[in-house]
A and B are shown apart, each in its own frame.
Chain A
Amino acid sequence: MKLGTSLIIGGLLFALAIVVGLLAPWLAHTDPVMDANLMNAEEPPSWLWWFGTDAQGRDIYSRVVYGARISLTVGIVSQLVNSVIGVTLGLSAGYFGGWWDDIVNGLTNLMLAIPSLIFALAIMAVLGPGLTSLLIALGLTNWSFTCRIARASTLSLKSQGYVQAARVLGYGDLRIMITQLLPNMLGPIIVIGTLGMGSAVLAEASLSFLGLGIRPPFPSWGSMLSEARDQITTAPWLSVFPGLAIFLTVLGLNLLGDGLRDILDPQSRSRRT
C-alpha cells in the first residue's frame, strides 16, 4: 500500500467514529433508551429506520450512534492507562535493570499468562458492571505488551551512541529516559497503542456481551450484540450494524497505527520529501 494511504483511511474511519460520538445528540433520530415503541418492533432497515429497530422498537441507528460514545471512551481511556503503565514500567525496567527489571519481568509474564479477558472479568466481578469499572478493568489488564515493547526498545536504544553521548554530556537518568529513549520508541508504542485501542473496543464488546460491561438499556455496541443474539436469524440487522461499527472502528484504528508508524519514523519521512 502506498505510504499515507492507510494513514488517511484509518484516520478518516477513526475521526468519523469520534465525530459521530461527539455529535450523537444531533445525529440520532430518537432517544436511544427511552423511545421504545412496541408498535415498531423489529422493523427491517428502511428510509424511516435506517438500521431497523429492535424488539422493543428502538431505533438501531440512534443506538449505534450513541454506542460510539461508550466504545470510544473505553477504547481511548483504557488504552491510555495501559500505555502509561506499560511505558513507565518497561522503560524503567530496561533502563535500570537489576532487581527492578526482574520484578517487572515477572509481573509482565504473569499478566501474559492470565488471559486478559478472564482477568478483566474477575475485576468486573469485584467492582460490578458500569463504565468506571470497565475502564479500570481494561486499563489494568492490557499493559503487558506495551511494557515488553518499551523494555525491549530501551535495551536496544540504551547502547546507542546518542544515549551514551547524553550521559557524557551530563544528562540525568530521568532526562535521558524522557528526551532520548521515549521519543525514539514512540513509533512502536503508538502502533501498539492504536492496536490496543482496537482490542479494548473489542474487549468492551465482549464484556458487555457477557453482561458484565455496560448494562442494558444503555447502548454500547457490545451490549447491543448481546441483546441481538437470540434474533440473529430473524432480525440480522440487530447484530450486523453494531458489528459493522465495531469492525470499522477497529479497522480504522489498525490502519491508523500503521500509518502513524510510517510518519513517526524520521528516516521514512525524509524518503518521501
Chain B
Amino acid sequence: MTTAPLIEVEDLRIDLDGRSSRVAAVEDVSFRIERGETFGLVGESGCGKSITALALIGLLRRPLSVASGAIRFEGREIQSLSAAEQRDLRGDRIAMIFQEPMTALNPVSPVGRQIAEMFVLHKGKSWREANQLAVEALASVRVPAPERRVNDYPHQLSGGMRQRVMIAIALACGPDLLIADEPTTALDVTVQAEIIELMRNLCAERGTAILMISHDLGLVANVCRRVAVMYAGRIVEQRGSDEIFRACAHPYTQGLVDSLPRLGTRAAHGRSRLREIAGVVPAIADFPSGCRFNPRCAQATEICRTTAPETTWLDAGGLVRCHHHA
C-alpha cells in the first residue's frame, strides 16, 4: 500500500457564486486523515463543515465549487477523476451517513433491498447473494431478527433503527472512510450513545477511518483522536482531542468548551449560568476582515480587525490560527 495518507486536504477553497459576486465559503482548509483514524470537524451551523465533506466526495453542486486547493484520496486527486471514477469511489471506498435518518432512506423500498443494492452496485453481486449479504449486514448493526426486518419499510422502523440501517448501508462495501455528518443529532440521547458506540466499534473492527462532523465538541472529542474546529469557513484550531479540553489555544474553542455543561460544577461552585459566545456566525457574504472571529472575541485587538492570522504550530502539537494564542 502507498504511504500517502488516506485523505489529504490542502488549502481547500470553496467558492459560492452569487448573482454578482464570488465569495469564499471555505478557505485555507487543510487536514489529513490516516487509515483507520478518527477525525472530527466541529463548528457552528453555517461554518462550512458539511460543504467541506461534500467536496471530499466530489458532490459540490452549483452555486458551490472548489476554487483552489487539492483533495487527495490515497494520493489521487479527486478533482481530476472522471465522473464515473468518482462515482465508483462513492459508496464503495468513501461512504457517508446523514443527520436525518428519517429522510435518508427511500420510503417505498424495503430496507433490505436498499442495503442489497450496494452489493449489486459496487460489488457486482447477484440479487440473490446481495439479499443474503443484506441480512448479514443488518445483523452486524445489531438489528434484532434481521431476516424479518429486511422486508420492513423505513417508516416501520424507529429513528435509531433507521440510523442503524444507514450505517449498514454505508459500511456494506467496507469503505476506507466513513463520513458521519451529525449522525446522531436527530436522535435522543440514549440512542445517540448506542449509535456512536456501534459506529465506532464497527469502524475499528474493519479499519475504517471516520470523519465525524458535528456541532457538539464533547461528542466529537469523545469519538475522535484528533479534532479540527472550524469557524466561518476556516479551521481555527486543530489538536489532539484530549488536549483540546485541557488547553485550547483559540478563543473560539475556549468559548465552545465553556458552553458545555459540566457534571458536578454546581455542587462545587454553586449555581452559575452556562457561558455562551455572544453573537452569531456571520453570513458568508459579509465575513469581517482580519480574523473572522474578531467581532465576537473578548481578546480582540487592533491587529485582529485588520490582519487575518496565519496558522501557527503549537509546541504541544497541533495548529492554531490566532494572533493571541496562548
B169 within 8 A of A: yes
Is B89's CB under 8 angstroms from A170's CB? yes
Identify which of B114-122, B273-281, B299-307, B317-325 touches chain A: B114-122
- Residue of A at shortest CB range from B156? A270
State the Cβ distance, B94 to closest chain A Cβ, in Å: 9
A183 within 8 A of B: yes
How many B residues touch A, CB cutoff 8 Å? 30
Is B155's CB under 8 angstroms from A266's CB? yes
Identify which of A135-143, A159-167, A198-206, A231-239 touches chain B: A159-167
CA distance A161 to B103 in the complex (A): 5
Beyond A170-B92, A267-B155, whether A162 also contacts B107 by CB under 8 A is: yes
CA distance A166 to B115 in the complex (A): 11
A34 within 8 A of B: no
Interface string of A161-183 (1 = CB under 8 A from B): 11011111111100100011001
Is A161's CB under 8 angstroms from B104's CB? yes
- Residue of B at shortest CB range from A169? B91
CA distance A162 to B154 in the complex (A): 11
Beyond A161-B103, A161-B104, whether A170 also contacts B88 by CB under 8 A is: yes
- Would you call the interface of chain A mostly helix, strand, loop, or mixed? helix
CA distance A27 to B301 in the complex (A): 97
B248 within 8 A of A: no
B108 within 8 A of A: yes
Across the interface, A183 reaches (CB within 8 A) one of B92, B96, B106, namely B106
CA distance A184 to B166 in the complex (A): 19
Across the interface, B100 reaches (CB within 8 A) one of A161, A170, A266, namely A161
Across the interface, A160 reaches (CB within 8 A) one of B92, B103, B109, namely B103
Is B98's CB under 8 angstroms from A165's CB? yes
Beyond A184-B106, A266-B155, A270-B156, whether A172 also contacts B87 by CB under 8 A is: yes
Beyond A167-B59, A168-B57, A170-B88, whether A180 also contacts B106 by CB under 8 A is: yes
State the Cβ distance, A245 to closest chain B Cβ, in Å: 36
Is B100's CB under 8 angstroms from A168's CB? no
Residues of chain A within 8 A of B107, CB atoms compared: 162, 184, 266-267
State the Cβ distance, A200 to closest chain B Cβ, in Å: 27
Residues of chain B within 8 A of A170, CB atoms compared: 87-92, 121-122
Across the interface, A168 reaches (CB within 8 A) one of B88, B91, B155, B156, namely B91
Residues of chain A within 8 A of B153, CB atoms compared: 266, 270
State the Cβ distance, B169 to closest chain A Cβ, in Å: 7
Is A162's CB under 8 angstroms from B156's CB? no
Is B109's CB under 8 angstroms from A179's CB? yes
Beyond A170-B89, A170-B90, A179-B109, whether A161 also contacts B118 by CB under 8 A is: no
Is A168's CB under 8 angstroms from B108's CB? no
State the Cβ distance, B176 to closest chain A Cβ, in Å: 14
B229 within 8 A of A: no
Is A175's CB under 8 angstroms from B98's CB? no
B66 within 8 A of A: no
CA distance A166 to B153 in the complex (A): 17
Is B108's CB under 8 angstroms from A183's CB? yes
CA distance A164 to B89 in the complex (A): 16
CA distance A220 to B59 in the complex (A): 56
CA distance A169 to B95 in the complex (A): 6
Interface string of B160-193 (1 = CB under 8 A from A): 0000001001100000000000000000000000
B230 within 8 A of A: no
- Residue of B at shortest CB range from A269? B153
CA distance A160 to B122 in the complex (A): 23
B105 within 8 A of A: yes
Residues of chain B within 8 A of A166, CB atoms compared: 106
Is A162's CB under 8 angstroms from B88's CB? no
Residues of B63-107 whose CB lies within 8 A of A: 87-92, 95-96, 98, 100, 102-107
CA distance A162 to B114 in the complex (A): 10
CA distance A179 to B59 in the complex (A): 20
Residues of A177-198 whose CB lies within 8 A of B: 179-180, 183-184, 186
Across the interface, A162 reaches (CB within 8 A) one of B87, B96, B105, B122, namely B105
Residues of chain A within 8 A of B98, CB atoms compared: 161, 164-165
Beyond A168-B59, A169-B95, whether A266 also contacts B87 by CB under 8 A is: no
Is A162's CB under 8 angstroms from B121's CB? no
The 4 closest A-B pairs by CB, nearest first: A170-B91, A161-B103, A169-B91, A170-B90
Interface residues of B (CB under 8 A from A): 57, 59, 87-92, 95-96, 98, 100, 102-109, 117-118, 121-122, 153, 155-156, 166, 169-170
Taking A169-B118, A170-B87, A266-B107 as given, write out 10 further A-B residue pairs in contact, using a Cβ cutoff of 8 Å, ordered by the A residue number.
Answer: A161-B104, A162-B106, A165-B104, A168-B90, A168-B96, A170-B90, A179-B106, A179-B117, A186-B108, A266-B108
15 contacts between A and B (CB under 8 A): A161-B100, A162-B106, A164-B98, A165-B104, A165-B166, A168-B90, A169-B170, A170-B87, A170-B121, A171-B87, A171-B91, A172-B87, A175-B121, A179-B106, A180-B106
